[in-house]
Amino acid sequence: MLSRCLELEPCRYNGERIPFDLVRHLEPWVKFRPVCPEVEVGLGVPRDTIRLVASGKRTLLVQPATGRDVTEDMETFADRFLSVADGVDGFILKSRSPSCGPGGVKVYKDAQSRFAGRSEPGLFAGAVLARFGGLAVEDEGRLRNRRIREHFLTKLFALARLREIGGGGRTGDLVRFQSMYKFVLLAYGEKHLRSLGRIVANADRRPFTEVFARYRAGFMAALGGMPRARTFINVFQHIAGFFSDGLTAGEKAHFGSLVTRFRSGRAPASSVTSLLESWAVRFEADYILDQALFAPFPEALVSEADSGKGRKG
């Protein structure tokens, strides 16, 4: 699901469209469901700005210039719209928007105040997070950061694969998925790899729908946070260990240099995985080549995932 103002239509409050290259690069691989909650509740284009305002324990969504309170309209729309959003794997939302921002949106003391007391998700985004928080959810500002973007794409396409497996209803497919994502899961945390492994190990003893629901929930939790560079490096070194006896001193030194650059944020993960994949081909390590770590998302998106550092907040 995508905020409509990102690359698609000029529907921001000022009638502008936000250029965002990632949307164009994703278009061949995903089906977008565009939405502009502010237009959907009748605010029009262009429109006077809205803001979040603290009111006791509640947060209201108001339009200072007109005095209009659109809180109930937005909550009603979000509930209706999201209740039929089946088959969604992720969301790209407009950063810092009082409706769509998934975090860091200013909450003011009153409609006219110049100072914000706190920050939180926008009203529509809050409903998204409450209902779909386990999916791949980001805003376009954070997605300009390389590692955040790589994490988002990895999670988005993994969940799409997992959704297809759920529709197929075959336990063997779930077992193969777990095997394929072994090193990805290890990069996110060994405890998640082990807990998910226990679920599929006993999959034949329970109905597939029950096993799949448990596995999907555990997988979303496993990829819930950004992986640390250190855990990724542990995986890189683990894979390199399969080939160490056949590598020259120069090859090992080159690998170490790439890892160092990755650790410092000067190189993307793909610079290391590409080298490891070439060694797997050279040594005919089919088990290694089958790992999703080498193709967590379509190859055409690798250059987009690797470009720039962007912002993290």
> What pLDDT shows up at residue 308?
57
Q: Tell me, yes or no, whether 137 and 60 share the same domain.
A: yes
- Examine the pLDDT at 310 and tell me if it is beyond 80: no
For residues 32 and 121, is the Cβ–Cβ distance under 8 A? no
Q: What is the pTM of this model?
A: 0.93
Query: Does 202 or 127 have the greater pLDDT score?
Result: 127
When pLDDT is cut at 50, 70 and 90, the band that residue 311 belongs to is: low
CA 48 from chain centre, in angstroms, equals: 31
- Examine the pLDDT at 156 and tell me if it is beyond 70: yes
Name the residue range of residue 129's domain.
2-144
226-274 pLDDT, tens per residue?
999 999 999 999 999 999 999 999 999 999 999 999 999 888 899 999 9
- The residue-averaged pLDDT of 122-151 equals 96
- 3-class SS at 216? helix
For residues 283 and 244, is the Cβ–Cβ distance under 8 A? no
- Examine the pLDDT at 51 and tell me if it is beyond 80: yes
Domain-terminating residue out of 144, 168, 191: 144
| Residues contacting 257, CB < 8 A, separation 6+ | none
- Is residue 150, in this structure, part of any structural domain at all? no
Q: Which residue has the tokens 């509640």?
A: 58
- Is residue 153, in this structure, part of any structural domain at all? no
Residue 206 φ then ψ, to 5°:
-135, 160
- Examine the pLDDT at 313 and tell me if it is beyond 60: no
- 3-class SS at 100? coil
> What pLDDT shows up at residue 306?
63
What's the CA gap between 211 and 255, in Å, rounded?
39
User: Environment class of residue 9 by beta-carbon count within 10 Å: exposed (0-12), middle (13-18) or buried (19+)?
Assistant: middle
- 3-class SS at 199? helix
Domain-terminating residue out of 144, 166, 188: 144
- Is residue 201, in this structure, part of any structural domain at all? yes
- 3-class SS at 116? strand
Domain-terminating residue out of 89, 119, 144: 144
Q: Tell me, yes or no, whether 108 and 230 share the same domain.
A: no
How many domains are there within the chain?
2
